[in-house]
Amino acid sequence: MVGRPTKRRPAGIAMTAPAVRSRKEFGKTLAVDIAHRLRQDIVACRLKPGEPLKFDALRLAFGASFTTLREALTSLSADGLVLAEEQRGYRVAPVSAEDLLDVTSTRALIEIELLKRSIAHGGDDWEIAVISTLHRLGRIEERLPGRHVDDPDWKIAHRQFHEALVSSGRSPTLLAIRASLFERAERYRNLSSMFRPQSRDKAGEHRAIMKAAIARDTDLAVSLIDRHIRSTANNVVKYASHLLAP
């Protein structure tokens, strides 16, 4: 008996999973599923900055309609990860020094405001969340010394620690904007880690931020988080400037 032909993935389209997953896995629609997987590949730089996202290739890769793909790409465009060009379709948003500065400065402003609010309003549950997420991050770093920054579990734990820090900020709007900016900044962080000759003491930075936050030392916590955020931008400029558009 002759087997059914399998779909071949076109060159240039990265995939984080088999072509089609259950819609229940991400709980919403196929467009959300596709946007989720494309977002992962863009942030991880598996899809390169400026790379075209052609509908024919995407249809073969995901088995989705033009309308569904356009919905997914439109949502990524709203998040600043995909660029829509009139008459030319879509491509991965390029990286540039101007965008890096804008993302970094805006993220620092919002992160600082949310951290201030969390220190002022956070109770025992907030403190436990901050401490426990940092503990999980540290355990992963111990298990993978020198290799943790590229580990998917570390990346999840890293995001969760930063989310915990600001989780008592009492502003769903600011938190939503912050989440979008974190993803855009994460793409630059991945670029930084690719070319940085030696790793940063992120564990020490995270620990210092946690201690200042739990001690309710707002001025110190704000100073540390601001420096932490801007260090990534400084490293990108220093080590990966050849990838940045003017």
- pTM for this entry: 0.80
Tokens for 184?
A: 């855009």
Per-residue pLDDT, 178: 97
Q: Tell me what the pLDDT averaged over the chain comes to.
A: 87
Give the C-alpha separation, 175 to 209, whole Å.
19
Per-residue pLDDT, 15: 45
Indicate left, alpha or beta for 45 from its phi (over 0: left) and psi (-120 to 50: alpha): left
Per-residue pLDDT, 20: 41
Radius of gyration of the chain (CA): 20
Give the C-alpha separation, 180 to 81, whole Å.
9
pLDDT in tens, 138-172: 999 999 887 777 788 999 999 999 999 999 999 99
Domain boundary assignment for the chain: 23-92, 97-243
The CATH superfamily of 97-243 is GntR ligand-binding domain-like (1.20.120.530)
Residues in the chain where the model's pLDDT stays below 70:
1-28, 246
Per-residue pLDDT, 6: 42
Q: Kindly report the CATH number that applies to the domain delimited by 23-92.
A: 1.10.10.10
Give the C-alpha separation, 122 to 168, whole Å.
5
Per-residue pLDDT, 4: 41
10, containing H or E segment: none
Per-residue pLDDT, 98: 93
Per-residue pLDDT, 124: 98
Per-residue pLDDT, 88: 81
Per-residue pLDDT, 1: 41
